[in-house]
């Protein structure tokens, strides 16, 4: 039995992780999120409502909100970049497993608002590491990103590939998180696993993600923009494949090597079968039963033409191979999308 902290608990992946059956075996689950307005906060309130939490924009900072449907589940509204918020949680609960999913997401937004990434992704992650240092945990699992591979031309992307050439500030902060985790693991013995997520999608997703934006525009009769003239490949990963993999890692923390190497590792977490962007759009059109009006655009700054995960290390460690195909995943998203927006 475990005490588990999920930061970014009102976010897309955090919510689905909390839904996972494995977490119902925990002694206590604590969700932590700042409920910011990077995208529509109503989605965050809605996700939390599904977990039994009554929260909204007026929810007090760092007041414990109990779940009405899950015993020993708590939610706190707070910010990772506020060390006193993070420390208060660790002082109160003493966690066994920490899953740090809280971060400022988005490649393109990092060009518009770089400070948000330094605050949340750097200072916020430092505060998590310091808390794990002062309140030792069995396993710190944290979100990295496939964006660390930059414009890597070798496919599939392996954890052993060089990641020294990021093409966005978002990617640079995620690479920095990996270095910070390795350092803290080496110095203080914190077992750390960084997960390089590959284009996660599914119900209750983020509106800034392409599939969500495409669905909104297609159903509203608006034009969708296809970047790099559609000549892009993405390793789309259904969210339930992500959460199943994460929960299987809970009790599989890395250990220090015989030579004193840090108990730190990074793992790709993707589907392992990239799909052409136009094929992806076609699947959304099929599931919606509508055709999109398309505008073909050049590549955007910070974007990359291909993502493709080598997931062999994750599969060897967890015994799990992602199993949900695109038709199933987009079908589940569209089913939720229609219901949520009353279409």
Q: What is the pLDDT of residue 107?
A: 81
Res. 261 pLDDT band, cuts 50 70 90: confident
Task: Give pLDDT, residue 2.
Answer: 86
The residues, any chain, with a CB within 8 Å of residue 234's CB and separated by 6 or more, are 198, 199, 274, 275, 277, 280, 306, 307
Collapsing DSSP states into helix, strand and coil, what is residue 188?
A: helix
Q: What is the pLDDT of residue 168?
A: 92
Query: Average pLDDT for residues 201-207, to the nearest whole number?
Result: 97
| Model pLDDT, residue 1 | 61
Domain CATH number, residue 91: 3.40.50.720
Phi, psi of 126 (to 5 degrees): -60, -40
pLDDT at 99 over 90: yes
Helix (H, G, I), strand (E, B) or coil at 22: helix
Is residue 139, in this structure, part of any structural domain at all? Answer: yes
Q: What digits encode the pLDDT tens for the residues 313-327?
A: 999 999 999 999 999
pLDDT attached to residue 171: 94
pLDDT for res 151: 83
Q: Which domain holds residue 158?
A: 3-201+238-270+308-323
Q: Specify if 293 maps to a domain.
A: no
Mean pLDDT of the chain: 95
Confidence of residue 42 (pLDDT cuts 50, 70, 90): very high
Tally the domains of the chain. Answer: 1
- pLDDT tens-digit profile of 106-121? 888 888 899 999 999 9
Active site residues: 170
Residue 333 domain flag? no
| 342 falls within a domain | no
Does residue 289 fall inside a structural domain?
no
Domain for residue 297, yes or no? Answer: no
Residue whose C-alpha is closest to residue 180's, from 233, 121, 228, 239: 121
Report yes or no on 11 lying in a domain. Answer: yes
pLDDT at 259: 67
Q: Is residue 252 a part of any domain in this protein?
A: yes
pLDDT > 70? residue 55:
yes
**pTM given for the model:** 0.96
State the average pLDDT over residues 254-280.
90
pLDDT digits (tens, 9 = 90+) for 127-174: 999 999 999 999 999 999 999 999 888 999 999 999 999 999 999 999
């Amino acid at each position: 039995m475990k005490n588990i902290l999920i930061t970014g608990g009102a976010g897309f992946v955090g919510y689905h992780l909390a839904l996972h059956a494995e977490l119902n075996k925990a002694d206590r689950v604590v969700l932590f999120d700042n409920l910011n307005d990077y995208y529509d906060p109503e989605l965050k309130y809605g996700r939390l409502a599904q977990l039994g939490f009554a929260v909204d924009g007026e929810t007090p900072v760092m007041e414990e909100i109990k779940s009405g449907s899950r015993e020993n589940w708590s939610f706190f509204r707070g910010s990772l970049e506020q060390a006193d918020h993070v420390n208060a949680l660790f002082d109160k609960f003493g966690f066994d497993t920490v899953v740090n999913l809280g971060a400022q997401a988005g490649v393109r937004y990092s060009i518009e608002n770089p400070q948000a990434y330094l605050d949340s992704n750097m200072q916020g992650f430092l505060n998590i590491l310091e808390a794990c240092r002062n309140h030792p945990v069995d396993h710190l699992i944290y979100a990295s990103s496939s964006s660390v591979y930059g414009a890597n031309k070798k496919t599939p992307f392996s954890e052993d590939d060089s990641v020294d050439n990021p093409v966005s500030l978002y990617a640079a902060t995620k690479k920095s998180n990996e270095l910070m985790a390795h350092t803290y693991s080496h110095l203080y013995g914190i077992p750390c696993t960084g997960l390089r997520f590959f284009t996660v999608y599914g119900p209750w997703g983020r509106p800034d993600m392409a599939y969500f934006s495409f669905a909104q525009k297609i159903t509203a009769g608006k034009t969708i923009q296809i970047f790099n003239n559609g000549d892009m490949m993405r390793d789309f990963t259904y969210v339930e494949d992500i959460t199943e993999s994460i929960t299987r890692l809970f009790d599989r923390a890395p250990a220090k090597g015989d030579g004193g190497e840090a108990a730190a590792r990074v793992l790709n977490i993707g589907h392992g079968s990239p799909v052409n962007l136009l094929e992806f759009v076609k699947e959304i059109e099929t599931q919606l039963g509508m055709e999109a009006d398309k505008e073909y655009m050049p590549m955007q700054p910070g974007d990359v033409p291909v993502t493709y995960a080598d997931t062999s290390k994750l599969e060897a460690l967890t015994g799990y191979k992602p199993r949900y195909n695109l038709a199933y995943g987009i079908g589940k998203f569209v089913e939720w999308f229609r219901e949520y927006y009353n279409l």
